[in-house]
Amino acid sequence: MSQVPADRPPKRYEQIKQFLMEGIASGRWAEGEKIPSEHELVELLGASRMTVNRAVREVSAQGFLRRVQGQGSFVRQVAPRSALLEIYDIAEDIQRRGHVHGVRVLRLEAVPAEARMAALFSLERGAWLFHSELVHAENGQPVQLETRHVLPRFAPHYLAQDYTQVSTSRYLQSLEAPAEVEHIVHAVAADARVQALLGIGADEPCLRVERRTWTAQGAATCSVLTHPGSRYSLGSRYRVAEWEARRLG
């Protein structure tokens, strides 16, 4: 049996954090449920309240607990999701690298919502949506196929813009900052049409980002960004910072 990484003398507040994390992960305290009060933890674990307080505060800052003064500490309904993707504008990205950004507008039109889109936007089938399809190129080589659906109420003049001058992302962001954003990244195989548009072979995998935004009124946009796996990747490098300090509500 492997021993605990007993390299260092255990720290009391780390032990308590561990105790809390295990209780949360194991379901000993269900989601939304109240965990023992600081006072109870003091008696249970035999540490001072300040030490308990630090442990609970830090676990809370990590997003696993919600604390309410005068009431107690509760296990969060939705634990913090792992991956965060920041909004990015591919035109800006390419220019930042000092390369030439080119764009070709394939479609820019109003379309009736088929079943999937109707569901995503909470509309009836056949309701009108704005739709655009663009291919972005870096130094002449296609790097992204951008397919987008936009709620007309959110961007009434979406179809009248010249997207060779201002990118779709930039125009949409100029309207109203979304209240909520979702990104999903996955790897997919390209169908024949995508292969042709991106100029890739049949066996080349693609990196696909699905991006949805919501305003206070509801779903606003839904985009699918498809990149050739060989010519594009998402990257980030950052200094570790704030998952300790994060406060969600």
Partner DNA sequence: CTGGTTAAGTTGTATATACAATAGACGCAC
Partner DNA sequence: GTGCGTCTATTGTATATACAACTTAACCAG
User: Which residue lies nearer to a copy of itself by CB, 29 or 112?
Assistant: 29
Among a copy of itself, DNA, none, the one that 100 touches (CB under a kind-dependent 5 to 8 A) is none
The residue count for binding DNA (CB under 7 A) is: 29
Nearest Cα neighbor of 149 from 190, 119, 191 is 119
Going by C-beta distance under 8 Å and a sequence separation of 6 or more, which residues neighbour residue 191?
none
What pairs with residue 222 in β-bridges? Answer: 149, 212
Residue of 20, 38, 145, 207 interacting with DNA (CB under 7 A): 38
Q: Does 28 engage in binding with DNA (CB under 7 A)?
A: no
Among a copy of itself, DNA, none, the one that 119 touches (CB under a kind-dependent 5 to 8 A) is none
Question: To 10 degrees, the CA torsion angle through 165, 173, 84, 117?
Answer: -90
Going by C-beta distance under 8 Å and a sequence separation of 6 or more, which residues neighbour residue 171?
155, 158, 161, 163
Residue of 20, 51, 59, 113 interacting with DNA (CB under 7 A): 51
Looking at residue 195, its amino acid is Q
User: Which residue lies nearer to DNA by CB, 124 or 244?
Assistant: 244
What pairs with residue 228 in β-bridges? Answer: 206
Q: Does 40 engage in binding with DNA (CB under 7 A)?
A: yes
Among a copy of itself, DNA, none, the one that 206 touches (CB under a kind-dependent 5 to 8 A) is a copy of itself
Among DNA, a copy of itself, none, the one that 47 touches (CB under a kind-dependent 5 to 8 A) is DNA
How far is residue 206's CA from residue 230's CA, in Å, rounded to a whole number?
8
